[in-house]
Homo-oligomer: A and B are copies of this chain.
Amino acid sequence: MFGNGSRSFHFPSLCNNIGFLQKNNNVDDKSRIVRFFNDQQPRSILTRDNERDPRFRRTETDFSNLYARDLLPAKNGEEYTMQFLLEVVDILTNYVRKTFDRSTKVLDFHHPHQLLEGMEGFSLELCDQPESLEQILVDCRDTLKYGVRTGHPRFFNQLSSGLDIIGLAGEWLTSTANTNMFTYEIAPVFVLMEQLTLKKMREIIGWPNGEGDGIFSPGGAISNMYSVMVARYKHYPEVKIKGMTAAPRLVLFTSEHSHYSIKKASAVLGFGTENLILLRTDERGRVIPADLENKVIDAKQKGFVPVFVNATAGSTVYGAFDPINEIADICEKYSMWLHVDGAWGGGLLMSRKHRHKLNGIERANSVTWNPHKMMGVPLQCSAILVREKGLLQGCNSMCAGYLFQPDKQYDVTYDTGDKAIQCGRHVDIFKFWLMWKSKVCVHIHEIRTSAFDNVLLMNQSNPQHTNVCFWYIPPSLRLLPDGEEKRQRLHRVAPKIKAMMMECGTTMVGYQPQGDKVNFFRMVISNPAVTRSDIDFLIDEIERLGQDL
């Protein structure tokens, strides 16, 4: 049952995570939607939402004759700087309020050409004359107005969603500190926070005493790339100096359902995408271990060298968890590096109830884990964790003299920048550290429980993760016999509904084909603000928009 008694939500035998959505009751009429948004009028920046609250009251400043040059470091710029920043904060806190307000739209969609032509009072063009601070404030407000509220409880479109207030505060502070992770010298507190947090993450993975190594990177794709690089360095360290031609023909393995970043890494690093071998999956999207072993044997017989296996913990579309222990057995048998891509599913390690899905992760040589997904940390926050210490440094170190002077007065092992493929590196740790301090133990468990409860509502008897994949079958297709025509028509349903949904702006959900399956919706529940009513709302919207297709 789906939401209420008038709905049915069927799962085909082929995949527990894909279902059919049908509904016969009347659709909600347009007036309800219109009612939601009829008070969403653009406001002058001088309008004050906050006047009821004396803490937010500000004297009026005329920004129309003030310019960036009047702000700090300008002489006497402090007063204007504070007034300007407070005005920006007013815009931002209004946005935060509305993000959590279900009577606001998720987005106010415009086509690229419309935004490029310019909306009233808002031009994206870079002009030759400086604009006043008043216009800059209008630009800030309009940028938010025409954007997408990824923190809205009815945004189900991506794996990253939600707007965590502590994380937001952390990111505001990070921007204000505006420093760089490459040396302890200029980021002492952040470097130590990163070290302590990575150790905690390794403990949670289950590596003895949390030993090992790691670094925060600009995202899961780069973290996965690190894993392939470090595996290559472990097995063929001479590649660093001599290049890929110094190694035999190396092959990598990953699920046909794995994230495309593994394929990107094989291209970027010089392995070549044809040397990435895709593994077959079962009906729930999990790698079939026997297929891995067969393909390893086959590759060896061809004279290739199997070197790296990626196991996905929480696949992008289905949310599937590959069987890590069985894959680890094969990796040990054939001396291959085992990487676990837990970008999406790594957050379940924090959950007593769900961590069993990652059983065996302690046997991995490396792990990708993105706190900016299931754990709700603002973008970007992704960690690559490596079991063996020294490999990251050995693989990437170039010992730049102007940053990593050996004759500093402090313990230079804290200068971790040379482990990275980057030079300057954004501070991604603080927001995560602050969120952890403020709530992580209780919070993560709660998110997990509530998100999974929401999935259970949708009659998924044994959900792997909080992805819910389904087709909506419009009335016109219900009586059609199965076959190519029905498939082709069904393939066009999700894009059409999604297009109308974006024009309405009331909610957002993703869709895609996968393998031989035509376009289906993928709803992702990771925002703790989502309630049962929001899920009902999405389903209502899909039915309302799709009934006449």
A424: nearest residue on chain B (CB-CB)?
B219
B184 touches A136 (CB 8 A): no
A260 touches B423 (CB 8 A): yes
With A260-B398, A317-B402, A495-B408 known as contacts, the answer to whether A437 contacts B126 (CB < 8 A) is yes
Cβ of A407 under 8 Å from chain B: yes
Interface flags for A471-499 (1: CB within 8 Å of B; 0: not) read 00000000000000000000010010011
A58 touches B55 (CB 8 A): yes
Query: Interface residue tally of chain A, by bracket?
Result: 35 or more
A168 touches B179 (CB 8 A): no
B82 touches A221 (CB 8 A): no
With A53-B82, A68-B165, A147-B177 known as contacts, the answer to whether A196 contacts B59 (CB < 8 A) is no
Cβ of A281 under 8 Å from chain B: no
A146 touches B178 (CB 8 A): no
A406: nearest residue on chain B (CB-CB)?
B495
A115 touches B188 (CB 8 A): yes
Cβ of A222 under 8 Å from chain B: yes
B126 touches A229 (CB 8 A): no
A200: nearest residue on chain B (CB-CB)?
B126
Which parts of A225-255 form the interface with B (CB within 8 Å)? Answer: 225, 229, 239-246, 249
Report B-chain residues with C-beta under 8 Å of the C-beta of A427. Answer: 379
Cβ of A130 under 8 Å from chain B: yes
CA distance A494 to B81 in the complex (A): 37
Cβ of A549 under 8 Å from chain B: no
CA distance A143 to B192 in the complex (A): 11
Interface flags for A162-201 (1: CB within 8 Å of B; 0: not) read 0101101111110111111000111111101100110010
Report B-chain residues with C-beta under 8 Å of the C-beta of A229. Answer: 268
A433: nearest residue on chain B (CB-CB)?
B126
Contact of A169 among B115, B140, B187, B502 (CB under 8 A): B140
A221 touches B268 (CB 8 A): no
A421 touches B100 (CB 8 A): no
Q: Which of these binds chain B: A10-18, A28-36, A507-515? A: A507-515
A264 touches B398 (CB 8 A): yes
Which parts of A123-141 form the interface with B (CB within 8 Å)? Answer: 124-131, 133, 135-136, 139-140
A268: nearest residue on chain B (CB-CB)?
B421
Contact of A178 among B163, B272, B442 (CB under 8 A): B163
Q: Which of these binds chain B: A39-47, A152-160, A282-290, A330-338? A: A152-160
Report B-chain residues with C-beta under 8 Å of the C-beta of A179. Answer: 147-148, 150, 379
Cβ of A73 under 8 Å from chain B: yes
Cβ of A449 under 8 Å from chain B: no
Report B-chain residues with C-beta under 8 Å of the C-beta of A423. Answer: 219-221, 259-261
CA distance A439 to B260 in the complex (A): 40
Cβ of A345 under 8 Å from chain B: no
Report B-chain residues with C-beta under 8 Å of the C-beta of A56. Answer: 82, 86
Which parts of A48-72 form the interface with B (CB within 8 Å)? Answer: 53-59, 67-69, 71-72
- A366 nearest CB across to chain B (Å): 16
CA distance A422 to B84 in the complex (A): 35
With A82-B97, A165-B84, A169-B84 known as contacts, the answer to whether A175 contacts B176 (CB < 8 A) is no
B81 touches A85 (CB 8 A): no
CA distance A173 to B95 in the complex (A): 10
Cβ of A24 under 8 Å from chain B: no
Interface flags for A104-119 (1: CB within 8 Å of B; 0: not) read 0000011111011000
Cβ of A547 under 8 Å from chain B: no
B398 touches A190 (CB 8 A): no
B186 touches A148 (CB 8 A): yes
A189 touches B146 (CB 8 A): yes
A178: nearest residue on chain B (CB-CB)?
B378
Contact of A402 among B85, B261, B522 (CB under 8 A): B522
A95 touches B176 (CB 8 A): yes
Cβ of A121 under 8 Å from chain B: no
Q: Which of these binds chain B: A291-299, A353-361, A409-417, A452-460? A: A409-417
CA distance A197 to B124 in the complex (A): 9
Cβ of A88 under 8 Å from chain B: yes
- A238 nearest CB across to chain B (Å): 8
Cβ of A323 under 8 Å from chain B: no
Enumerate 30 A-B pairs (CB-CB under 8 Å) in ascending A order: A55-B83, A67-B439, A68-B166, A68-B443, A73-B153, A81-B165, A85-B93, A86-B93, A96-B176, A124-B193, A124-B196, A126-B197, A126-B433, A144-B176, A146-B189, A147-B189, A148-B179, A158-B180, A163-B176, A171-B175, A218-B218, A219-B424, A221-B423, A244-B244, A245-B249, A268-B268, A268-B269, A270-B270, A380-B426, A402-B514
For the complex of A and B, the 4 pairs showing the least CB-CB separation, nearest first, are A270-B270, A243-B272, A409-B499, A73-B529
